Structure 1
Amino acid sequence: MADPTIDDAELALRLATAAGEHLLKLREHGLLSSSDLGAHGDRLANTLLTDLLRRHRPDDGLLSEEEASDDARLHKQRVWIVDPLDGTREYAEGRLDWAVHIGLVKDGKVAAACAVSLPGLGQVFSAAASIALPPAPVGGMKILVSRTRAPRIAEQVAQRLNAQLVPMGSAGAKAMAVVRGEAHAYLHAGGQYEWDSCAPVGVALAAGLHASRIDGRPCSYNQRDVFMPDLLICRPEVAAALLSTIAECQRHEELQHD
Structure 2
Amino acid sequence: MSVTDEDLAAHLAEEAGRLLLEQRNSSLLQGNALGHVADQVANAFILTGLAEWRPEDAVLSEESPDGPVRLGKSRCWIIDPLDGTREYSEGRPDWAVHVALAVDGAPKLGAVAVPALGRLFRSDAVEVASRVRERPVMLVSRTRPPAEAAEIASLLGAEVRPMGSAGAKAMAVVAGEADLYFHAGGQHEWDNCAPAAVALGAGLHASRADGSSLVYNQPDTCIPDLLIARPEYADRVLRFCRQR
TM tier relative to shorter chain: over 0.9
1:233 alignment partner in structure 2: 228
Q: Contact conserved, 1:145 with 1:187, CA < 8 A, in 2? A: yes
Paired position in structure 2 for 1:127: 123
* Counterpart in the other structure of 1:66: 63
Structure with greater proportional strand content? 2
Equivalence for 1:253 = none
Give the match for residue 76 of structure 2. Answer: 79
Alpha-carbon distance in structure 1 between the residues aligned to 2:94 and 2:140 = 12
Residues 136 and 184, structure 1, Cα contact 8 Å, conserved in 2: no
| Alignment: residue pair count | 244
Counterpart amino acid of residue 232 in structure 1:
L
Map Cα deviations across residues 182-206 of structure 1 (whole Å, 9 max, x no partner): 1110000001000000000000000
Q: Is the 8 A contact 1:137 1:183 kept in 2?
A: no
Q: TM-score, normalised by structure 1?
A: 0.92
Using the aligned pairs only, state the percent identity: 50
- Aligned match of 1:36: 33
Which residue of structure 2 aligns with residue 211 of structure 1? Answer: 206
Unaligned residue ranges in structure 1 (runs of 5+): 251-258
Q: Is contact 1:79–1:104 with CA below 8 Å preserved after alignment?
A: yes
Deviations 1:50-104 (A, max 9, x none): 1211121110000000112121110001000000000000000000000000000
The answer to whether the 8 A contact 1:16-1:102 is kept is yes
C-alpha distance in 2, partners of 1:160/1:108?
A: 33
Whole-angstrom CA distance in 2 between matches of 1:58 and 1:223: 20
Q: Aligned pair in 2 of structure 1 residues 186, 137: CA closer, same or farther (>3 Å)?
A: farther
Identify the residue that residue 255 of structure 1 maps to in structure 2.
none
Report if the CA contact (8 A) 1:137-1:184 is conserved. no
Q: Does the aligned pair in 1 maintain the 2:96–2:114 contact within 8 Å?
A: yes
Determine whether 1:9 maps to 2:6. yes
Counterpart amino acid of residue 199 in structure 2:
A
Q: Which residue of 1 aligns with 2:113?
A: 117
1:244 to partner: Cα distance:
1.1
CA-CA distance at 1:160 after TM superposition: 2.8
Gaps of 5+ in 2: none
Q: Find the counterpart in structure 2 of residue 90 from structure 1.
A: 87
Match of 2:54 in 1: 57
CA distance in 2, matches of 1:133, 1:44: 32
SS of the counterpart of 2:211?
coil
Question: Is 1:200 matched up with 2:183?
Answer: no
